[in-house]
Amino acid sequence: MVAPAELRYDGKVVVVTGAGGGLGKQYALFFAERGASVVVNDLGGSFKGEGTSTKAADLVVNEIKSKGGKAVANYDSVEFGDRIIDTAVKAFGTVHILINNAGILRDISFKNMSDEDWDLIIKVHVTGSYKCAKAAWPYFRKQKYGRIINTASAAGLFGSFGQTNYSAAKLGMVGFTETLAKEGGKYNILSNVIAPIAASRMTQTVMPEEVLKNLKPEWVVPLVAVLVHDSNESENGSIFEVGAGHVSKIRWERAKGALLKTDDTMTPSAVIKKWPQVNDFSKPEYPTGPADFLGLLEAAGAQGPNEQ
Ligand code: NAD
């Protein structure tokens, strides 16, 4: 990746969802300061997804305009992503960069979780990101240019007590991104996913003040800025953890595994006997797709019988 000294976004139209506060606000301010036209989307509800207000988005738009930047507000829920992209097209003619950032929490133990807690989280994070990307996609395809950032979470990658709904939605963002990357790459549509950590109203109730002051949302912005810039021509379908000044890529690891003969000796006890190999990460692979099942079947066929 060869980049100019200062990354700029002149002529680019950026849609940031959930840009009324937290991370989204910092993305919006950054891209506007660096020359982009920005759609500041925010539903303006509580962090649990209750209520609506135009105030959050308006304040950010006013701040951008007062500094001489270009921005318009959109107050729709991301569930209506087509309306958000319409706002971009009406105001600025197209969309080049989509930051799927809007999000809410409904933390509760799995035992006590209601269907509503589950459905709302899936609707905002998964369906919301889908709707925005789906509406932007035809513009990206036509102009052979698009950059998408989806937002996952460590909760999705590793699990987190009281967040089964959120974890499912956030890991969903990983699969969504990996497939968008595979479909979009040849049209210069690059999609990446971040698992951020930052002080915001989402984290202020679960983290002590001492920790929060070292987690500025501004410190997540530079990675996103790099990934969506023109100078990124190859980073696509990647997962990053970012926060507190730390930026790192995350990838899948596949154990060497056991190969069992595929005949009637392939029993549960044969699997148990091979357990150490199933768990053997001494010579791992870093897969970007499923195992080569046909090759494995062929190799398994050539094996001697499994031990009984
Ligand atoms: P935040 O609550 O400050 O910001 C989220 C914004 O999204 C809010 O302004 C909210 O009004 C808006 N929003 C919520 N539902 C919406 C909807 N349906 N349509 C449009 N806008 C909506 O939280 P944040 O910490 O800045 O979170 C931003 C993203 O980062 C979220 O997707 C969150 O899940 C993710 N994330 C944050 C952290 C963290 O440490 N802050 C960690 C992991 C993931």
- Reported as a single tens digit per residue, the pLDDT across 10-30 is 999 999 999 999 999 999 999
Rounded to two decimals, the pTM is 0.96
18 CA from centroid of ligand 1 (Å): 6
CB atoms within 10 A of CB 262: 15
* Dist. CA 166 → ligand 1 center (Å): 12
d(CA 23, CA 58): 16
| Residue of 150, 202, 207, 218 best suited for mutating to test ligand 1, as the one with most atoms within 8 Å of CB | 202
User: Residue 266 is which amino acid?
Assistant: M
CB contact at 8 A, 77 and 43 = yes
- Between 143 and 212, residue with greater pLDDT: 143
Looking from the CA of 195 toward its CB, the CA atoms found within 13 Å total 23
Residue nearest to atom 11 of ligand 1 (CA): 44
Compute the average pLDDT of residues 112-127.
98
Residue 182 has pLDDT above 60, yes or no: yes
- Residue 275 Cα to ligand 1 middle (Å): 41
Q: Which of 170, 182, 256, 286 is catalytic?
A: 170
Q: What pLDDT is recorded for position 247?
A: 98
Euclidean distance between CA atoms 173 and 200, whole angstroms: 20
Q: Is 142 a catalytic residue?
A: no
Mutate to test the pocket of ligand 1, among 16, 43, 80, 241 (most ligand atoms within 8 A of CB): 43
207 band by pLDDT with thresholds 50, 70 and 90: confident
pLDDT at 253 exceeding the cut of 70: yes
* 166 noted as active-site residue: yes
How many angstroms separate the alpha carbon of residue 167 from the centre of ligand 1? 14
Q: Give pLDDT, residue 29.
A: 98
d(CA 67, CA 76): 25
Who lines ligand 1 at CB under 6 A?
17-18, 20-24, 41-45, 47, 49, 56, 77-78, 101-104, 124, 128, 151, 153, 196-198, 200-203
Q: Retrieve residue 243's tokens.
A: 């926060």
Whether the CB-CB separation of 227 and 192 falls below 8 Å is answered with: yes
Structure confidence at residue 3 (pLDDT): 66
Q: Residue 79 CA: which ligand 1 atom is closest?
A: 18
Distance CA 192, CA 227 (A): 7
Q: Name the closest-CA residue to atom 18, ligand 1.
A: 77
What atom in ligand 1 is closest to the CA of residue 128?
18
Nearest CA to ligand 1 atom 40: 197
Residue 208 has pLDDT above 60, yes or no: yes
Cβ neighbour number for residue 165 with a 10 Å cutoff? 23
